[in-house]
Amino acid sequence: MSALDLDVVRIGVVSISDRASTGVYEDKGLPALKDWLGRAVRNPIEWEPRLIADERALIAATLRELVDDAGCHLVLTTGGTGPAPRDVTPEATLDVADKEMPGFGEQMRQISLRFVPTAILSRQTAVIRKQALILNLPGQPKSIAETLEGLKGADGQSLVPGIFAAMPYCIDLIGGPYIESDPSVCAVFRPKSALRPPKS
């Protein structure tokens, strides 16, 4: 099946940084998100990128706009999830939530704890708003890829599942498009009852 036969997925990617948003340094969050998702997702993607400051009201307004107006099925943020005073991404994300999905944050911390003990300081979360899944990811490109993809051993077998494996089925359940992945990047898990036959 070619990408032309798959549902189009609209993805919002939001980099949250005071300094990057004012041009003090180059933003690396948006390129990292688009690079990984562009390799993992087989569907055609329509991107909605945003680079904004660490302001709770602005973050919440951006998330609402991406879901309510731009029609995104998936919104990924990067940055602003630590304990510092300016880190308000989780609060802004919860401000727009219909439902909280705490398992995503729990799994991201499990992955990051394999590398640094300070992973417990991260407050990443995930929520449902209407028919969209919104996720807070780490700020570093390497950590973004690790949390999405998970960790593999030298033999290529999964040691710790990445969060992306569960994201497409979550989007199925809330009425979004059927997302297929490149299993060499990250295999998607769905129960047998939720699998769709290939389109002819």
Question: How do the domains of the chain map onto residue ranges?
Answer: 3-194
- Give the pLDDT confidence score for residue 18 in this predicted structure: 82
CA distances to 18, 90, 95, 104, 130 from 64, rounded to whole Å, are 20, 14, 10, 20, 10
CATH architecture of 3-194: 3-Layer(aba) Sandwich (3.40)
Q: Look up residue 39 and give its two tokens.
A: 């390799």
- Give the pLDDT confidence score for residue 53 in this predicted structure: 94
- Give the pLDDT confidence score for residue 200 in this predicted structure: 47
Per 3-state DSSP, the chain is made up of helix, strand and coil in percentages (nearest 5) of 40, 20, 40
Q: Model's pTM, two decimal places? A: 0.93
Q: Look up residue 20 and give its two tokens.
A: 């990057």
Q: How far apart are CA 66 and CA 182, in angstroms?
A: 26
Which has the closest alpha carbon to 42: 184, 155, 146, 197? Answer: 184
- Give the pLDDT confidence score for residue 196 in this predicted structure: 87
- Give the pLDDT confidence score for residue 176 in this predicted structure: 96
Q: Which residues of the chain, if any, have pLDDT below 50?
A: 1, 200
